[in-house]
Chains A and B, each alone.
Chain A
Amino acid sequence: MTVSQVNSFRTGPDERGHFGIYGGRFVAETLMPLILELEKAYNEAKADPAYQKEMDHYLAHYVGRPSPLYFAERLTEKFGGAKIYLKREDLNHTGAHKVNNVTGQIMLAKRMGKKRIIAETGAGMHGVATATLCAKFGLPCIVYMGAVDVERQQPNVLRMKMLGAEVRAVESGSKTLKDAMNEALRDWVTNVADTFYCIGTVAGPHPYPAMVRDFQCIIGKETREQMMAAEGRLPDSLVACIGGGSNAMGLFHPFLDDRSVEIYGVEAAGHGIPSGQHAASVAGGRPGVLHGNRTYLLMDPDGQIIEAHSISAGLDYPGIGPEHAWLNDMGRVKFLSATDDEAVAAFQLCSQLEGIIPALEPAHALARVFELAPQKPKDHLMVVNLSGRGDKDLASVEAFLESKKK
């Protein structure tokens, strides 16, 4: 696909929350006044230097930013092509990029006088980040998590509980991230007066996709500066995994108008796209409406949502952020996918060659990096977003490898 000729890819959304045909505000009337209030409060906060200053303070001293941009020498050597750099979001406090967004939202919730925080979580990293900031600011926190994910991400469930959050296992539907989001929305509809819904990805009704993106853009902004310092120029390509797509959007967005930078998003192909058991909504879905926005979704011919599959709980979602859907259609971001098998192989290789155990989510991005890097010249600078650490996934990977032996 050729890249469309527009002046800028960074001006969206419009005032109604649309990125092209995607995005919007598809919510029940009960929630509509709340998201209008949120939009207003966010716009005010964004324009307030004091809010920005406080956030910078916590990001530096509590989260530990900036995260390093690390030259992965042995991976580079192994593949013999592009210089591979890892943006180390796994080194943030709580172990993933999720905390960037949560810090912004919890400070906004405080500003709005909200007394109760709810969140959905898949792999549990967003839940842990939310529970962490709630502990720090003394706010009660309820995290909705699919029962299947509670089972496969036990370490994070224990962390959330230790931090004082209540984890509610969701038994409806596919019992994964999509259902956790349904349940969080039901909670919000019920507790409108005092509750702030802290969404973990660049999806949901406007203003969430734009707001979460803004909070995550620190990843890309730092990467720009760090690459300039290390190599004296911009990177040639960016690679990130995409479930809802917040780590990817955070890395990509500051580079969207640098046309020389190739951008790759990697979806979870599960057992393979042809199997139908995957979570690749761009590769295997089409535009529909769910969770407050229009975007690519996995659906049957009647418009019913199909359960996604991925070994990675964080990518196990049948949709994608609306801005990603638009960037796909515009040809600015190229969407690829990686299977469970490929992700686990990349998980092992990164651990063994770099001494860095990545989360299964960015292991999907690494799987495609290992294919892309050898095709590039040695002076090609490739950045992959190492969006989180893999401690939480050790049991899943172990079980996966055991099942393969049989």
Chain B
Amino acid sequence: MSTRIEARFAALKAEGRAALVTFTMSGDPDCATSLALAKALPKAGADVIELGMPFTDPMADGPAIQAAGVRALKGGQTLIKTLALVREFRKDNDTTPIVLMGYYNPIYIYGVDKFLVDAKDAGVDGLIVVDLPPEEDVELCLPALKAGLNFIRLATPTTDDKRLPTVLNNTSGFVYYVSITGITGSAAPDAGKVAAAVGRIKRHTKLPVAVGFGVRNAESARAIAAGADGVVVGSALVDVLRANLDTNGKAGPNLVKAVTDLVSDIAQGVRSAKRVAAE
């Protein structure tokens, strides 16, 4: 059974271009706005949508995404509401893959089995759970795979050749290569080094490799897209969203347009990349 993620990456491979994967925080700054934004993302050029599940203690996130989580939680976002948002999105989009990204505790408290049933039913395609390394696969990864969801794992510069097989084992959908050691929103990666790292991962897997951390505009996206199967952009979008909040922290009138304009711009970068990625 092919998931929406697998179908999307296969189709883009046939087109000969990289995927644009966007990250926004569900419920930031409120549930209705983040739904409107999610709905507008595919038209702006997002090929895969990552939705953050806000958590009070995001240990691997930088200030921009920490603040997005705080805004979402203040706005009353919960995991139940995030799943409802996905269900709403699916009413008029059955093709764009949705990946939920966050930390384990809210899922653990929701109840792993119930969460997997509800997520699948809502139309979620994959999960990225930052604090679940392969050593903890029995917690969520193996049950998720069994439930027909992709479990997308992060590989990092500290994941050496000896460890890569451990990380790639039980990974599905795509591999998310975190291009620098650090928190989200950190400095831009070196495109040459990234392509080399993607090549290294590809020697161990047939899965597509998407690269994230440090992508901020069309230019950096184009550079990364030349050497990867996907480009993830997150903090840059969250920064634009924040810049379009009013003084009370509520969504300003141009918020969705401002974010999707940047997505369109970055999508142009991704689509115009000269691909050198060897299969």
Query: Which residues of A, 171-210, contact B by the 8 Å Cβ criterion?
Result: 172-173, 178-179, 182, 185-186, 189-193
- The yes or no answer to B277 lying at the interface (CB within 8 A) is no
Q: Which size class do B's interface residues fall under?
A: 35 or more
**Partner of A182 from B59, B104, B132, B167 at Cβ < 8 Å:** B59
Whether B59 contacts A28 by the Cβ 8 Å rule is yes
- The yes or no answer to A231 lying at the interface (CB within 8 A) is no
Whether A33 contacts B56 by the Cβ 8 Å rule is no
Whether A26 contacts B132 by the Cβ 8 Å rule is yes
Whether B182 contacts A28 by the Cβ 8 Å rule is no
Question: A305 to B105, alpha carbons, bound, how many Å?
Answer: 9
Question: A179 to B61, alpha carbons, bound, how many Å?
Answer: 13
Main secondary structure of the interface of A (DSSP, over half): mixed
| B-side contacts of A122, CB under 8 Å | none
| B-side contacts of A191, CB under 8 Å | 181
Given A26-B104, A182-B59, A190:B109 Cβ within 8 A: no
Main secondary structure of the interface of B (DSSP, over half): loop
- The yes or no answer to A34 lying at the interface (CB within 8 A) is yes
Interface size, chain A (Cβ < 8 Å): 36
Given A30-B158, A186-B59, A304:B66 Cβ within 8 A: no
Given A26-B136, A29-B167, A302:B106 Cβ within 8 A: yes
Question: A178 to B105, alpha carbons, bound, how many Å?
Answer: 15
Q: Residues 155-176 of chain B: 1 if any A CB is under 8 Å from the residue's CB, otherwise 0?
A: 1111110010001000000000
- The yes or no answer to A163 lying at the interface (CB within 8 A) is no
Q: Residues 262-293 of chain A: 1 if any B CB is under 8 Å from the residue's CB, otherwise 0?
A: 00000000000000000000000000111110
Question: A27 to B62, alpha carbons, bound, how many Å?
Answer: 16
| Most A CB within 10 A of own CB, among B60, B61, B131, B136 | B131
Given A28-B154, A30-B158, A299-B105, A291:B59 Cβ within 8 A: yes
Supply 14 further A-B pairs (C-beta < 8 A) apart from A28-B156, A190-B181, A304-B73.
A27-B133, A29-B154, A29-B158, A30-B154, A32-B158, A33-B159, A33-B163, A182-B57, A190-B182, A192-B158, A302-B106, A302-B110, A305-B57, A305-B105
> Could you list 26 examples of A-B contacts with CB < 8 Å?
A16-B135, A25-B133, A26-B131, A28-B154, A29-B155, A29-B158, A32-B158, A33-B160, A172-B63, A178-B57, A182-B58, A186-B59, A186-B62, A189-B181, A191-B181, A192-B181, A288-B105, A289-B103, A289-B104, A289-B105, A289-B131, A302-B79, A303-B79, A303-B110, A304-B56, A305-B56
